[in-house]
Structure 1
């Protein structure tokens, strides 16, 4: 018993001793911290009494946040907080209303009447009052874009280039629209353009040297052979271009185009295209069998035999996947209702040619990325709209029966850029119109983000297919119907 008490007392003394040692260490560390705090000015030349050194000290500490626009961030966060507060108020009011039981008397008999929601009413309430506001708040947070200097934008490396006009506008949506949208993961674009600006004219300020070169010409004479310079300006965001007072050049050997029934599936003659700004000097060079054809976004676009098989089913093509939709199956969803549409593509107009055979007029957007796509579309007797993704479509609201896209967006496009594009497509698409997303290619890790962008409009799904392109890439094909809105 005495041994037990002795061991217990020794253990207690050991614990007390350790506590005393820890206390002494804490006191020493505290004294050292206080001493360093009060002698901080000794670390700065001139001490803290010098305002210049003090300002330099604080500036160096906050240098990592100098590029942020705090006001824009605060405005966006305030908007989201207001949305969430309104949603909370609605939910609390609805819960309070459901919790109450109203008693109504009829004569002398007391009846307890409960107000119950039907299932359709409950689903409508959840969708309109809960899911949609939460979704809007989520989108708002995901699309926060703080205008900041671009360290890679300076040409001389002396100072970072700042997007012009970004801080000129007060509305945050305008500021977002005019901020440059970099290609996803820094992927290179056509003609070396690695970002796209909204078409408000400010990108012409960034590209002043190119614009001055483009607008240097002899009034009334032939225009310089510089269409590729104009397209570089357009792709960079200086779009629409200013008008010029010179005469557009044409091929010296321009020949009469083929009749419409023959021109749809026949390559035009080489003499109708000015080849001076292309790697190739003829359509034969652009064949899919030529490994050095000078472009890579549209393999086989100039092979008419191959183009005839597209959107028509298997046709002996073993590469057909579940993401390939047939035109006849798509048109059967809205029989007789698809009359005019927009085809946003990189190609020679084969989709518009197929639709024309079925009595549907398609306007095809065409940009000459390494090959004469715009000229080829026009020479096939189809309507070629020379427009970039950054340009607001020159079409009126609710005027298109269909919007079809293939090979343009894919996985390089910035999410906020895609958001503006999709809303513009939604604007021109009529209620009940069809959005055909044709083999949208992206990395598997980015699929959820891109699907999120397409699903935000709550279109009716007629078809929705995801298939593998490779081990790390997938295709997304969808046929969606725009709902009526009032």
Structure 2
């Protein structure tokens, strides 16, 4: 009889002891939490601290991120509650069904060690780490303070990144005039917590995952600027020396210098405009250099197509640096380079390696989204050119923010070149107002039909001095 009882009794006793251990752990954590609350002044009726933690309908009160703090505590409590429910459920089934439960749950008497490690020890350790990562507010001059967003994330690499970095010399002021440096991430990163934590989940010092497309997704959805990472960026397996500058401007780059894993195509030949499955829709034919060579230098007889030589003749010798805002492979910058003008080209990899192509042609790509403030100082650009990207799909208020930013970086006397902007005919007046609200001087202004319901607009405008 003793032998037949053993299989039923031993698992039950083991799980009973586990429950006792788990209960003891919960008691220890509770006592520790109560001690923290006591030291913070809750039981001494410190009204300032109570208002910080119990303020109604306020997420940030006295620099405390209550929502994140509550969320992290609740996350740990939920983990421990799920673990306790699971253990209780297994114990109850073992008491009633004995070995049948062990067989159904794939747990034999000889696998108890593995079961304890996977089902008990690891979840408890995870909950323990999560508790240790919660940063309670510091008390400074009778006010509770904490660094924003710290408790919103679990991955330690993100927490290390957004924690302010003190200057090496105690209480010294750095070149920016501050006592610490604050690394930045966009506020939308909190809404994309899962994706950002996946992006920052890597082994420090090792190779990064080939996940640039995840980073670009974060940028496009407002999580920008992205945090820096402490891993090594991957390159193509065989990176060859780029072509010399006198050849690279008008030659398709070496395909082996591009990582193709996240594209629909696997070589430049596949990106031909003749291929309906090339993986991108904007900038049709922009990977075909024999077609690109004729842009902005050949008269098309259409009034909306301005020639580079005509634009530069308006400000002879004054156009030296500028920005090309759109989607392309850098052909506008290549043409301007032949005129000794340096152009920075914005380039997101929207289905094709636009950034890599621009760089391999010997030009400067700017990896930036439409929702990002331009990383240029006020009144510094001689020229801003835009085409093929901002069209009638864009919200008027978003366009307003963009145009004001362009006006900020464009110097007095600088040129804004709107190239083949198109929209619905009935919406033309609204977009015309957006472009004309700054009272730029009109050098060129042309409208042409695109289809029955759509029109093209091209304009060359000069920013006024606006002297104070």
TM class by smaller structure: 0.5 to 0.7
1:311 has 2:292 as partner: no
Corresponding residue of 2:385 = 404
Name the residue aligned to 2:434: 453
In 1, are the aligned partners of 2:185 and 2:227 still within 8 Å (CA)?
A: no
Tell me the residue number matched to 1:212.
197
| Deviation, structure 1 residue 472 | 1.2
Partner of 1:241: 226
Q: Provide the rounded CA distance (Å) in 1 between the counterparts of 2:329 and 2:393.
A: 22
Q: Which residue of 2 aligns with 1:423?
A: 404
Q: Does 1:360 align with 2:345?
A: no
Alignment partner, residue 43 of structure 1: none
Task: Please tell me whether the aligned partners of residues 468 and 474 of structure 1 are also in contact (alpha carbons under 8 angstroms).
Answer: yes
1:370 alignment partner in structure 2? 351
Tell me how far apart the structure 2 counterparts of residues 468 and 207 of structure 1 sit (CA, whole Å).
42
Match of 2:423 in 1: 442
Q: CA deviation at 1:313?
A: 2.2
- Once the two structures are TM-superposed, the CA of residue 408 in structure 1 deviates from its matched residue by 1.5
Whole-Å separation in 2 of the counterparts to 1:301 and 1:377: 11
Q: CA RMSD in A?
A: 1.3
Return the alpha-carbon distance in structure 1 between the equivalents of residues 210 and 298 of structure 2: 42
Asked if the contact 2:337/2:343 (under 8 Å) is kept, the reply is: yes
- Tell me the TM-score normalized by structure 2: 0.60
Report matched runs for 1:92-103 at 5 Å. Answer: none
**Matched residue, 1:300:** 285
- Residue 227 of structure 1 is matched in structure 2 by 212
Deviation at 1:321, TM superposition (A): 2.4
SS of corresponding position for 1:410 = coil
Alpha-carbon offset, residue 320 of structure 1:
5.6
Indicate the residue corresponding to 1:325 in structure 2.
306
Within 1, Cα distance between the matches of 2:311 and 2:387? 15
Q: Please tell me whether the aligned partners of residues 352 and 382 of structure 1 are also in contact (alpha carbons under 8 angstroms).
A: yes
Matches of 1:367 and 1:474, distance apart in 2: 26
User: Do the aligned residues in 2 keep the contact of 1:462 with 1:479 (CA within 8 Å)?
Assistant: yes
- Which whole-Å CA distance do the structure 2 matches of 1:337 and 1:477 have between them? 22
1:432: which partner in 2?
Answer: 413
Q: Is 1:349 aligned with 2:330? A: yes
Q: Deviations over 1:230-257 (max 9, x none)?
A: 0011011111101111000000111000
1:392 to 365, 370, 373: 373
Q: How many residues align?
A: 285
Q: Partners of 2:331 and 2:244 in 1: how far apart?
A: 16
Structure 1 residues 335-386: Cα deviation after superposition (integer angstroms, max 9, x where no partner): 1100000110100000000000000000111000000000000000001111
CA drift of 1:462 comes to 0.3
Cα deviation 1:227-286 (Å, max 9, x = unaligned): 000001101111110111100000011100000010000010110000000000000000
Give 2:78's aligned residue.
Answer: none
**Structure 2 Cα separation of the partners of residues 257 and 290 of structure 1:** 26
Instruction: Quote the Cα distance in structure 1 between the aligned partners of 2:425 and 2:202.
Output: 48
Structure 1 residue 473: deviation in Å? 1.1
Q: CA deviation digits over 1:388-441, x for unaligned, max 9?
A: 111111111111100000112111111111111101100110000000000011
CA distance in 1, matches of 2:200, 2:456: 42
Residue pair 2:185, 2:226 contacting (<8 A) in 1 also: no
Unaligned runs of 5+ in 1: 1-164, 166-198
Aligned pairs (5 A) from 1:21-60: none
C-alpha separation between the residues in 1 aligned to 2:279 and 2:466?
45
Match of 1:340 among 303, 317, 321: 321
Q: Distance in 1 between matches of 2:373 and 2:421?
A: 21
Query: 1:446, CA displacement in angstroms?
Result: 1.5
Give the distance between the partners of 1:471 and 1:375, measured in 2 at CA.
37
Contact conserved, 1:313 with 1:325, CA < 8 A, in 2? no
Runs of 5+ in structure 2 lacking a partner?
1-148, 150-183
Other structure's SS at 1:411 match? coil
Residue aligned with 1:412, SS: coil
Q: Which runs of 4+ in 1 moved over 3 A?
A: none
Q: Would the aligned equivalents of 1:287 and 1:302 in 2 still touch at CA under 8 Å? A: yes
- Please report the TM-score for the alignment, with normalisation by the length of structure 1: 0.58
Larger radius of gyration: 1
Question: What is the CA–CA distance in structure 2 between the aligned matches of 1:214 and 1:205, rounded to whole Å?
Answer: 13
Secondary structure class of the residue paired with 2:427: helix
